[in-house]
Structures are given as structure tokens and as C-alpha cells.
Amino acid sequence: MHKKQIKLSDLAEELGISTATVSRALKNYPDISAETKQKVIALANKWNYRPNSLAASLRNKETHIIGVIIPEVVNHFFAKVIKGIMEVAYDAGYRVMLCQSNEDYDKEVDDAHALLSSRVDGLLASLANHTRTFEHFYDFMDSGTPVVFFDKTSPEIKDCSKVIIDDYSGAYQAVESLIQQGCKRIAHLQGPGNAHTFQNRLRGYLTALKDYQLPVDPDLIIECPEFTLNRGRLSAHQLVALPKGVDGLFAVTDLLAIGAMKGFREKGIQVPEEVAIIGFSNWEMVEAVFPPLSSVSQPGYEMGRQATQILLKEIKASKNEEDITHETVTLATELVVRGSSKSV
């Protein structure tokens, strides 16, 4: 019987740290503490760990291909991200291998394994809404493949660069605008509770209510497991049925907001006269509905460009065996007020 080959993930599991941290400790990276390095080295010696030289040799052969895992290709925001990614990648002589997870964790894992097997030079990834474990991404870091996360990521993922939206500030501005125009019962259509992006938007909503001394009513916060027109429509019906009703709504996506507008109209509620509504993303179609939807604009194109620029820089450093300094870039949002909410 063959003896099991010890992997970085085995060391990481016993020590309770990420595989990326183990890898960096063994390579004596300066951003890893001396105590962590000592623990990693001691355990590696105990288990007689030996690096996978075959994997290392494969990493030294460039494919000039960047892997991308994205939740939805048809999504307006992600379409802009992809445009930014491809422009920077192609200008630098790289091709892009694009995978769509469809917000499905298992599909995301399969896509990650396929891209790693294809030996892409680097990976850009935005998490599916229900992703809670990240070993499929740590496998890239273990192999020495740079990974940059964009938009939907997790604070649990360490030792990598990230380009994110200031979701908290964008949500705060939206709710503050509704409050300043006189709304006192403001509902929130939120995304899946485990997704960090939507947690930040919920936090912005709650903080705005607190700062303006408005009570938080749990009945006004509706979690939407999927982002569809019908989900927004049914949520509006649910809000209309409340004894005290609702006079403002902030939706975590434009699609939910547009669905809510339809739902309110079906119940005879006028927008914005009786309910003011603001969405998030500033999808191009928001100006095609009536009244035009107010929305928080997020810079998807710029996100794609910056994430790719960072990844290319890290790929170059990795090939030259230089230390990589990871960074987190936070991009600002902008509230665009239209007819669905009254301007202050």
C-alpha cells in the first residue's frame, strides 16, 4: 500500500490556517509571523512534507490564459466587469477563459478545478451567493497561481488581493435619500444573508435608520433568495399587506426594485407618490421603466480593469519569484436619483 502523500492542505487543516498561509510560511514570506512559521516548519518536518515538484514545474510554463469565474454572464453589472477584464487582458497578450457558476457552489468548485487543470496563469473570481468554504481557491494558491477576487468575496479569505464595491456606503446613501425626503417606514429587499456583499448593504440600511433615529421593523426586511422580477413583485404584495404599510423601499438589486414597482402598481400604490423606491447597480434598463428607477451606480467596468491589472502584476511577480504584496481596492458608488424617488 502506498503511503499517503502529505499536502499543504493537510498541514493547514491540522494548524487551523489557510493553505496559502502554510505555503507562504514555508517560503519565508515576511508578512507571516515568526510564530506561525515555526509551527508550520515543525509540522512539515514531523510529517516529512515534501513540495510537489511536478506542480511547481508546471507552474513555470506560462499559458498566457487568465481564468475567470463569474456568477452570471447576463447580469448587467458583471457584463461590464467582463468588458473591463478582457480589454486589459487582451492588451497585455492574455486570453480569457470564462466560467459561469450560475450562483451554484458545486458548479463554482467544478469550474475552479477545470481552470486549475488547464494551468491558467492566474484566476479572477467572484463568489457564488452560497459559497461558504474556499478550498477550491486555496488549491490555486497552493500551486503558486495568483488569485484576485472581485465584487463578491469573503473576509475569511486571506492572503490574496481583492477589488470590491463600497456596498455599505452605497446602501447608506440610498436610505438616507429616502429618509431626507420624508420616508419613515423604509423596507429593504435584501440578498442571501451569508453573502458578504449583501451583508454590507443591509448594514448600510440599518445604520442609516439608526443615525436618523428611525426604528428597525423586522417585517420590513425581506430576504430574497433569488433576484427576479416576480420575487420583487411578491415582496411588494407582502409589504402592502402590513398593517402600517410602507412608504419607502431600498432593494439590493435593480431587478428586485423593478419587480416591486410592478407589485405596488398591482395593489393600487403609486410610485413615488405613496412609495419611493431605489435599487442598486444602475442597470441600463432602469431608464426604460416608468417612472425611471433611482439606483446606486457601481463601477463594474473599472472593477474589471483594476482586478485584471492587479492579477497581471502578481503573475509577473510570481514568475520572477518576487514577493507579492496583496492589496484591497474599494471602489466608490454614486446614487443616481430618478423618477421613482423624489429628489431632495
Q: Give the pLDDT confidence of 4-54 residue by residue, as tens digits.
A: 567 777 888 889 888 778 877 887 777 788 899 889 888 888 887 766 544
Is the Cβ–Cβ distance between 84 and 301 less than 8 Å?
yes
Q: Are 174 and 99 in a shared domain?
A: no
Report which of residues 61 and 276 the model is more confident about.
Answer: 276
Q: How confident is the model at residue 59 (pLDDT cuts 50, 70, 90)?
A: low
Statement to judge: residues 287 and 179 lie in one domain: yes
Cα–Cα distance between 182 and 72 in angstroms, integer?
A: 36
Query: Average per-residue pLDDT in the chain?
Result: 89
* pLDDT, position 243: 93
Same domain membership, residue 189 and residue 77? no
273 and 192 belong to one structural domain: yes
Q: Is residue 338 part of a domain?
A: no
User: What's the pLDDT at 5?
Assistant: 60
**Cell reading at 107:** 458548479
> Residue 42: which CATH number?
1.10.260.40
Asked if 120 and 18 sit in the same domain, the reply is no
- Number of domains within the chain: 3
More confident residue, 4 or 312: 312
Residue 287 lies in a domain: yes
H or E segment at 295?
strand 294-297
DSSP readout, 122-190? EEEE---TT----HHHHHHHHHT--EEEESS--TT--SSEEEEE-HHHHHHHHHHHHHHTT--SEEEEE
**Average pLDDT rounded to a whole number, residues 234-242:** 97
- Hey, is 23 helix, strand or coil? helix
Burial (0-12, 13-18, 19+ Cβ within 10 Å), 28: exposed
Q: Say how far apart CA 141 and CA 182 lie, in whole Å.
A: 50
Task: Indicate whether 235 pLDDT > 80.
Answer: yes
Asked if 179 and 155 sit in the same domain, the reply is no
Looking at the structure, tell me whether residues 148 and 269 fall in a common domain.
no
125 and 33 both lie in a single domain = no
3-state secondary structure of 12: helix
Query: In this structure, are 135 and 184 located in the same domain?
Result: no
Residues 148 and 182 in one domain: no
pLDDT at residue 93, as a whole number: 94
- CATH number of the domain enclosing 184: 3.40.50.2300
pLDDT-derived band at 328 (thresholds 50, 70, 90) equals very high
pLDDT in tens, 167-220: 999 999 999 999 999 999 999 999 887 678 899 999 999 999 999 999 999 999
Residue tagged 487551523 (cell numbers): 16
| Residue 337 placed within a domain | no
Would you say residue 94 lies in a domain?
yes
Write out the DSSP string of 44-84: HHHTT----HHHHHHHTS---EEEEEES-SSSHHHHHHHHH
* Whether 92 and 193 share a structural domain: no
Three cell numbers written together for 186: 423604509
Q: Is 281 helix (H, G, I), strand (E, B) or coil?
A: strand
Percent of the chain clearing pLDDT 90 (strictly above):
61
> Could you list the residue range(s) of the whole structural domain that residue 29 is in?
8-51
Residue percentage of the chain with pLDDT more than 70 = 94
Per the listing, cell 444573508 goes with 193
Co-location of 141 and 205 in the same domain: no
Kindly state whether residue 79 falls inside one of the protein's structural domains. yes
Lowest mean pLDDT among 116-120, 223-227, 307-311, 340-344: 340-344
* Phi-psi domain of 60 (left: phi exceeds 0; alpha: psi -120 through 50; beta: other): alpha
Residue 339 covered by a domain: no
Residue 267 lies in a domain: yes
Residue 96 lies in a domain: yes
Torsion of CA 20, 26, 31, 36, to 10 degrees: 90
